[in-house]
Each structure stands twice: as C-alpha cells, then as structure tokens.
Structure 1
Amino acid sequence: MVGLNRSYPEANVPQYLNESGRAMLAAGQTDCLHDAALAHPFLNAAELEAWPGSVTDNSELSKVVHMASPLFREGAPTTPVLLYHAIADEFAPIGAARALAGKYCAAGTPVQRAENPIGEHGTEAAAGLPAALTYLTDRFAGKPAPSTC
C-alpha cells in the first residue's frame, strides 16, 4: 500500500483504509519490505479495510493496482524471471501470478515459478528471499535459467 500510495498519489490510497490501516501506512513510509514483513507477520488485509469486503476486490483501488501490474502491460521481459508467491496471498492473488507466468511463457521468456502453500504476502517476501538470491546469483554466474513453462 505504501508503494501504491507513493507511486499513484492521485489515487488517494488512504481513503480505502480504516484508521488502523492509515496508521500502518503512515508508520511504514521508511520501512523496507523486510522490515514491514517482520513488523506485521500474518497480517490479514481485512484488518486494513475502510469498509466490509476486500481491499483487493475494490473496483477503484483495482484500477490503481492494474496500473502498477506487469500483467496488464504490453510485452514481456527478454531475461529469465523468477516468480515466487504464497498461494494464500490476499494482496496479490495467486491467479494473477499464474496468469503473468503464462503470459511470459507464451512470449518465450524462461519463467521459474515457486508457489508456497504456507504464508501470505509479507511472510513470503521474507521466506522466498533465499531462493531469489540464489536465483540471481546463478544468473550472474552464467548458469542456465530453469523454467517451469
């Protein structure tokens, strides 16, 4: 939410959050992703919502998310991609990650998907970090990119 608010100030992201969500947004302005994940493990998106329903199903906020998502942009990377994702991620639903992998695979981009059945958005950022660093180390070392396409 901090990233969306910073990138798209005209969207007024805080309007979609309750008092607790706005406080977290304000307090997290200088956090790196790891700090935020450690500060709020197992955070449920429903705890941040300004009204009943789902933050990710809000049609106005979804417009902002679409602007930020590579799924809705033309083209695909020409370099290999690792997509690691928690299956139960409520902020970035797994279906969108699978669709993005399919889009990239169809374009010929080598994609390695790693889906974690445990955790959610914040915990996966930390849990997936070792695999992401290994993936990058291997690419810089010239090792062939694995693909699950």
Structure 2
Amino acid sequence: MIPARLNPTSAGPIRRWCAALLVTLTAVTAAVAATGTAAAERVPTPEHDSFYDAPPNPGSLANGTVLIGALGGTSGTYSAGLGLLALSALDRIVPEANIPALLNDRGRTALAQNTRACGHDFGGKYAFSHLDDYAASPGLATHPRITALANRFRLDGNVPGAPSFVWHSTGDDALPIAATDAAVAAWCGAGATVSYRRTSTPTHLVSALSGVADALHFLDDRFAGVPAPAGCS
C-alpha cells in the first residue's frame, strides 16, 4: 500500500525519497504492511502480557491469516525470510509482546543481528530456512501470542485516511491474494479512496516488482497536485 499524504510543494526531494522507499517496499510483505499500518495508527496496548496469550476470536481472524501465512506458509521456501521479517517487525512495533521469549538462542540472535535490516536482507539470508528452527517450541506460527497479534493487526482493521495504491497478484505463491481482496473491500466500504491493481503475475517477487511503475505514476500524480479519483477503482 502506498499512501499519498505529502505536500506537492516539496515534491523534488520527497519524490526521490519515496522512489527509494518504494523499491524497499517491494520486498516488504503484506504481513509487515499490516503491522506498519497498525504502528502508524497505533492502538493502545494492554497493560498485561496475558492479552497476547489469550485465545483469539476465530471469527475475526480472516485477514490475520496474512501474518500467520508469512510466518508459517513460507517456511522452507524461497520466501522463508518473510517469517523472520514479520517477527522482527512485531518485535519493533510491539516490544511488550516479548517476541524473543518465543524464540531459541538462534532466533534471538537472528533478531539482534537484523535490527536495522530491510526486507531484502531477510530474503537473502533466510531463504529456504524453517521458522521452527528459530523457535523455542514447534508451531510458532500458530502460537496463541502470534495469532492474537495477527488478529490485532488485521489488514482490514486500519482504514487508510489518505488516497492509497494497492497491488497484488493471484499468482503470489507466498501470500494469497484473498486477504488483500477482503481488506480493500473493507476499506472501500468504509469510504476510503483506493486504486487497486489486481494482476495474475506469477510468484511473490515478480508480482511485487510488477506494480512499481504504476505506483510511481500514482505518486507522481499526487505530487503534481492531481487529485486521486474519489472512491475505489
């Protein structure tokens, strides 16, 4: 998701900054985008850690499966770094969730070594790794604390307040498109302005890169003062 909130009068340096940021964002997953959205509009956190250990409401986890999918669904694949990327994001955004307590020494070391890493760093380092090799006990992706966080940071739980550009592919082999479809539908139902490009480009990596040109065009129009089309398209 690319939100357009910036003042067009500062387009020169900001456009260059956004172009660089966008390249980084192509490696960031929907799971981390969800946690980043929650961080930007952060919900007050509970006083007690027991919140994170409480069983989630199964009926409200539809889009939380994006985070769980990034953690468990990519384990052992070329996209396995998405799991550690998601854990790192959660650790930074919700330190009181105590993610390191769910990890073994290898997992805690991985988090400590990547505190300033970007998405592509995780992808290169941890391709074909297995998430549970870093966990204190098997089944980390479905640990009650993780599923509670997934429920908390559902994609459809934070409606963007600025015009937004979204793209995803039915051919994404790491993060299924269903959760993005549901999130966009929820945002549009809440009155958000969203430009959604739904493609059939194969694989997670290629489909991520395939939307860059359209996303940059979307940003260029906003910086030029062209209003985003109202509603959803």
- When the two structures are superposed, what TM-score results if normalisation uses the length of structure 1? 0.66
- When the two structures are superposed, what TM-score results if normalisation uses the length of structure 2? 0.46
Aligned partner letter, 1:66: N
Q: Give the gaps of 5 or more residues in structure 2.
A: 1-86
Distance 1:60 1:33, change over 3 A: same
Distance 1:78 1:30, change over 3 A: closer
Bigger RCO (CA 8 Å, 6+ sep) = 2
Aligned equivalent of 1:94: 177
Aligned partner letter, 2:110: M
Q: Following the alignment from structure 1 to structure 2, what is the Cα–Cα distance between the partners of residues 125 and 26?
A: 30
Aligned partner letter, 2:93: S
Shift of 1:148: 5.5
Distance 1:126 1:99, change over 3 A: closer
Aligned equivalent of 2:202: 118
Q: Following the alignment from structure 1 to structure 2, what is the Cα–Cα distance between the partners of residues 16 and 125?
A: 32
The Cα RMSD (Å) is 3.4
Give SS of 1:112's match. strand
Aligned equivalent of 1:61: 146
Aligned equivalent of 1:2: 88
Percent identical among aligned pairs is 32
Aligned equivalent of 2:84: none
Shift of 1:102: 0.5
Shift of 1:30: 0.7
Shift of 1:29: 0.8
Distance 1:34 1:135, change over 3 A: farther
Q: Following the alignment from structure 1 to structure 2, what is the Cα–Cα distance between the partners of residues 96 and 125?
A: 16
Aligned equivalent of 1:31: 117
Q: Following the alignment from structure 2 to structure 1, what is the Cα–Cα distance between the partners of residues 228 and 121?
A: 30
Shift of 1:130: 4.3
Kept in 1: contact 2:166–2:196 (CA 8 A): yes
Write out per-residue CA displacement over residues 68-87 of structure 1, whole angstroms, 9 at most, x where no aligned residue: 345224xx334221123353
Give SS of 2:146's match. helix
1:79 correspondence with 2:162: yes
1:143 correspondence with 2:226: yes
